[in-house]
Amino acid sequence: MTTYTLHIPTVAMPKATNHGLAPRPASLDGKRIGLLWNAKVNADIYLKRLQELLEQKYTSMEFVHRAKPTASKPMEPEVFAALRDCDVVVTAFGD
């Protein structure tokens, strides 16, 4: 008689926590804005247009552009480190 070992690939789910919304800055003037592209089609176009609109409305902003290798993978540590110093980060998804 053959014996089989059955592995059940489940884990206990962590408890959900509610952190609420991040505080909103009163203005974007002089702020550092991170723009994260997730490599999906048209998301880069959205982020470019968003930057243009923000530059028309606010002054002296700095933009930090970063990209993920694909939408299905998390961002690399160096991308996270670059965005961590931003006052505001916007990500976009396309298709």
Please write the tens of the pLDDT for every residue from 49-81: 999 999 999 989 999 999 998 888 888 999 999
What three-state secondary structure class fits 81?
helix
Q: Residue 90 in 3-state DSSP? A: strand
Q: Is the CB of residue 11 less than 8 Å from the CB of residue 63?
A: no
pLDDT of residue 13: 72
pLDDT of residue 3: 84
The whole-number pLDDT of residue 17 equals: 81
Q: List alpha helices for the chain, DSSP H.
A: 43-57, 77-84
Please provide the average confidence, as pLDDT, over all residues in the chain: 89
